[in-house]
Structure 1
Amino acid sequence: MVNETRDYISIVILFCVNLVNNIDRFTIAGVLPEVQSYYDINDSMGGMIQTVFLISFMIASPICGYLGDRFNRKYIMMVGMVIWLICVCGSTFIPGNLFPLFLVLRSLVGIGEASYVNICPTMISDMFTTDKRTRVYMLFYLAVPVGSGLGYIISSNVASLTGYWQWGVRVTGIGGVIALLALLFLVYEPERGAADKVEGKESVRRTTSYMKDLRILLRCPTYVVTTMGYTCLIFVSGTLTWWMPTIIEYSAAWTRGYASIKQLPSSFKNQTGIIFGLLTTAGGIIGVLLGNIIAQCFLYGWLGQWSKTKRGHLIAAGLGAMIATPCLLALFTLGHKSEILTWVLVGISCTGLCFNWSLNVEVFNQVVAPERRSTAFSYVTLVSHLFGDASGPYIIGAISDSIKSGHVDSPEWDYKSLAYASLLAPFMMAASTLLYLLAAILFKRDAANLERQMTSHIRNDDKKAAYSLDIWSDDCLDNTSKF
């Protein structure tokens, strides 16, 4: 660790920023049926709310990544949070006949979020050395499942108490103001590569163009393949968190013989939001912790010498995706037969989906140099959201509308259309599993290359060895790396 007291204070504040971010991201999902009724929109437009937010999030991410590698990261994050606060609160005052304006403001929320989602991980990598960084990332990314679950619980219950869905969204603004003030006064800007210097590694800090940085990233197979695996997973997690509460309500209305979900008791809707939020939170916490424990088992050979490998992070991420695949298939084919079965499958799926949250970041840290990490994270954000949860909710909603067309408007076909459309999810998770395991095969060579580039005293024979095509053994890493 570079400076223990300041680093601990900073990580607590950055955790809170990440928590507020994820709470807000899922507040709309917690009141989605009410929003659809208020603006009189169908499933496609319901999914579009998330899509437009993520489009601006993606567009802003490379810009924030470029700035984050070159300017003060703390100030960039603060500007982003101000934009976020204005747009979140402003969107709740849009009347029911101005849905396009509501979409515009929800999209601009993405600009604010992009500023700190892409920069926080790079600041942490400069505060903590490799032996502590995995555990710190684990704690930092616990904000994702906790925030997601709280988003559903807070928005649905505040909306129920006040009678207005808008208050379920506005409440996150209070937390945002507190987080902004804490960021201003308590977080410091670490030197880029500071933690690596503590470990005796010195980054080769050459002045390179932005396009050259991109070419270097594209020539790193581990970076590219891991991003692809993460994208498949984000497609699934984004669509699941967006549509699952609605699917459950349609299923309940159908099995109870109601003509519309409006006939469901408000107590059931509140209960659904609370249970889904708690399962998302619990599954996420267990998934993040379990993913890191499994990674540590492989990294340190806790299961025996045969299991010791530097590829532990990627193997654990692949196992999480593998666990979620059959559970999602069962969820969308058998879930309507039992509410208990539905909740069990949702919990296990959320657990598997959350294995990778902190693991991905540490993989990228081990194959990407400090001076281009913000850029690297920004393009992971761009690609994963463009082909993941930005397009996912809309695609599932559009497929659902297509299936539902020609059938009687009823809870039965509302449920079946969304459930059938969501069967795309387990196939995406199977692809994610294969991609993570492929990245594990490629990882050793790319990590060894970066290790040599960041070592102050490099022998000529080491430079040649860095391009070895032996991607199967850990010998190279064992001789050159202690991470």
Structure 2
Amino acid sequence: MIDASKNDASDVGLAQRASSGAMTAFIILFAMNLLDYLDRNILVSIQPQIRDDLKVTNEQWGLLMSVFLISYSVFSPVMGWLGDRYRRTWLLAFGVGLWSLATVGSGLARSYGDLVLARSILGIGEATYGVIAPTILIDVFSRHQRSRVLSAFYLAMPFGSALGIGLGPLIAKNYGWHMAFYVVGVPGLVAALFAFLLPEPVRGASEGIPVDRLKAHEKAGATREDYLDLMVNSSYTYSVFGMAAYTFGIGGMLVWVPNYLFNTRHFDQQRAGTMLGLCTFTAAIVGMTLGGWLTDRLAKTRPQALFLVSGLSMIASIPFVLLALFSTSEPVIYAMIFAAEALMFVNTGPCNAIVANVVQPNLRAAAFAISTFAIHFLGDIWSPWLIGKAADLFGDPETMASSYGQLLKAIGAVPTQVVGHPPENIVAGLLMVVPALLLSGIVLIAGARHLPREMALMQAKLKAAPRPSQAPETTAL
């Protein structure tokens, strides 16, 4: 048994260790995340040049996005298992280095097959980073800062997306699309070295639990029963399914909204890329900052706010998505994209904080990995391909002559055509985003009632002696 008289002193020392190096860790991990999403979206922003050069169809382009996400999702559970057992900083260095080499490989591609191979390898590296980095941040920052810290960390996602969307056309226009990948890949190789500067905290260092108890759980590792408990953890599953539906929507938008602006509304590519990047960036600052601050504030007295704020924001974004798709005014379209994205980004920090709050520290990398697998396999693995498929299908005059095609025509979702390409109906494809956002909002709101009980249960498990495990002991390699 642990001497209760020593708990206060232990917790003070624990807080000091948890805060040591926290900002260094945040800056390094944020920079890596920025490069991650810069790479993903520089591909999207230069799609006209790549598709013309490699003769890629809409369906193939959507499939290319899916290939990366399949690789990313399949390898995430493997990296999550490793991340709960071995030194996380070394795994991060491997992951960031591998994805950076794959990015350079994308620039070397001379065929569609080459590009598919490079993006598949990219997914392995990014899976390593994506499931391990949040667990380090959770351990080095206070529990009461989680929503804000994770919101700030994931700001790199839209910030990197905005930079990719804005810089991609500029680099491709002046130096060719191959150079765009080199510009992103080389800094990633440098960033991989900085992983060795990161702290390696005891798993659960921010939970307010004595260090010796945390080390006992870390040494024991997760048991089969822990994994089974995770699958019936209502807060965890509602959060994952809510994020999956959201990811279907936002993933499809990030891939196809640039094409919608270029081909459907015939906006200048470079100007549209810059404006869309600016909208995404500012929306992320507003949405993620508001989401993190508001939910941390409300959750002090009502933990359910993590779910409720996220769910209501998803539903509130739907009218703005519709206005963006059916308006013909350039200023209105950009304003509506900004409003929709700001509301959608509200959920990022709170939903990830839910996972951290209800999952034991020695299981968190696996929990984030399973979450990553689920949200992509149920979400944006399919949405870019399905939206591209629908855009081709409802570009066909025969399909538009059907009753559903006539309904789309009546609401303004009509085919357009770019010289040298068959007709397409990107608005019809992007309408798939609407039911996904509605479903996300409903699921997240439904999950709110479970959170207080499961947060208390996680803390009780962490304070108790660990279950016996047959798993190998956690090691620092």
> Would you call these one fold, judging by a TM-score over 0.5?
yes
Please give the range of the TM-score, normalised by the shorter of the 2 chains: 0.7 to 0.9
Q: How far has the Cα of 1:169 moved from its partner? A: 2.1
> Superposition pairs for residues 215-254 of structure 1, below 5 Å?
215-253=228-266
- What residue in structure 1 maps to residue 60 of structure 2? 45
Identity of aligned residues (%): 25
- Cα distance between partner residues in 1 of 2:16 and 2:233: 28
- What residue in structure 2 maps to residue 362 of structure 1? 353
Q: TM-score, normalised by structure 2?
A: 0.86
CA separation of 1:270 and 1:409: change in aligned 2, threshold 3 A: closer
Q: How far has the Cα of 1:346 moved from its partner? A: 0.7
- Cα distance between partner residues in 2 of 1:71 and 1:198: 21
- What residue in structure 2 maps to residue 390 of structure 1? 381
- What residue in structure 2 maps to residue 88 of structure 1? 103
Q: How far has the Cα of 1:201 moved from its partner? A: 10
> Superposition pairs for residues 192-341 of structure 1, below 5 Å?
192-197=203-208, 202=213, 205=217, 207=220, 211-253=224-266, 268-300=268-300, 308-332=301-325, 334-335=326-327, 337-341=328-332
Residue 188 (structure 1) aligned with residue 189 (structure 2) = no
- Cα distance between partner residues in 1 of 2:112 and 2:211: 55
- What residue in structure 1 maps to residue 402 of structure 2? none
Q: Which runs of 5+ in 1 are unaligned?
A: 254-263, 301-307, 458-483
Residue 410 (structure 1) aligned with residue 403 (structure 2) = no
- What residue in structure 2 maps to residue 420 of structure 1? 428
Equivalent pair of 2:317/2:341 in contact (CA under 8 Å): yes
Residue 343 (structure 1) aligned with residue 334 (structure 2) = yes
- What residue in structure 1 maps to residue 191 of structure 2? 179
Count of matched residue positions in the alignment of Structure 1 and Structure 2: 432
Matched position secondary structure for 1:92: helix
Q: Which runs of 5+ in 2 are unaligned?
A: 1-14, 399-414, 466-477
- Cα distance between partner residues in 2 of 1:340 and 1:414: 28
Equivalent pair of 1:84/1:112 in contact (CA under 8 Å): yes
Q: How far has the Cα of 1:456 moved from its partner? A: 5.0
Equivalent pair of 1:2/1:129 in contact (CA under 8 Å): no
Q: How far has the Cα of 1:347 moved from its partner? A: 0.5
- Cα distance between partner residues in 1 of 2:387 and 2:61: 11
- Cα distance between partner residues in 2 of 1:87 and 1:286: 32
Residue 35 (structure 1) aligned with residue 50 (structure 2) = yes
- Cα distance between partner residues in 2 of 1:89 and 1:183: 20
Equivalent pair of 2:148/2:293 in contact (CA under 8 Å): no
**Match 1:57 to one of 72, 75, 90:** 72
Q: How far has the Cα of 1:177 moved from its partner? A: 2.3
- Cα distance between partner residues in 1 of 2:84 and 2:222: 12
Provide, for residues 131-152 of structure 1, a one-character-per-residue CA deviation record: whole Å limited to 9, x for no partner: 2333322221111111111111
- What residue in structure 1 maps to residue 161 of structure 2? 148
CA separation of 1:441 and 1:101: change in aligned 2, threshold 3 A: same
Matched position secondary structure for 2:206: helix
Matched position secondary structure for 1:404: coil
Q: TM-score, normalised by structure 1?
A: 0.85
Q: How far has the Cα of 1:438 moved from its partner? A: 0.8
Matched position secondary structure for 1:191: coil
Provide, for residues 301-327 of structure 1, a one-character-per-residue CA deviation record: whole Å limited to 9, x for no partner: xxxxxxx41112111211221221121
CA separation of 1:191 and 1:201: change in aligned 2, threshold 3 A: closer
Provide, for residues 18-62 of structure 1, a one-character-per-residue CA deviation record: whole Å limited to 9, x for no partner: 111111111101101111111111111111121111110001100
- What residue in structure 1 maps to residue 12 of structure 2? none
- Cα distance between partner residues in 2 of 1:210 and 1:99: 43
- Cα distance between partner residues in 2 of 1:29 and 1:389: 14
Provide, for residues 230-276 of structure 1, a one-character-per-residue CA deviation record: whole Å limited to 9, x for no partner: 001011111101110110111233xxxxxxxxxx7xxx211111000
- What residue in structure 1 maps to residue 442 of structure 2? 434
Provide, for residues 47-102 of structure 1, a one-character-per-residue CA deviation record: whole Å limited to 9, x for no partner: 1121111110001100000000011111111111221121110121122xx21121
CA separation of 1:342 and 1:170: change in aligned 2, threshold 3 A: same
- Cα distance between partner residues in 2 of 1:67 and 1:213: 16
- Cα distance between partner residues in 2 of 1:199 and 1:191: 11
- What residue in structure 2 maps to residue 128 of structure 1? 141
Alignment RMSD: 2.3
Matched position secondary structure for 1:388: helix
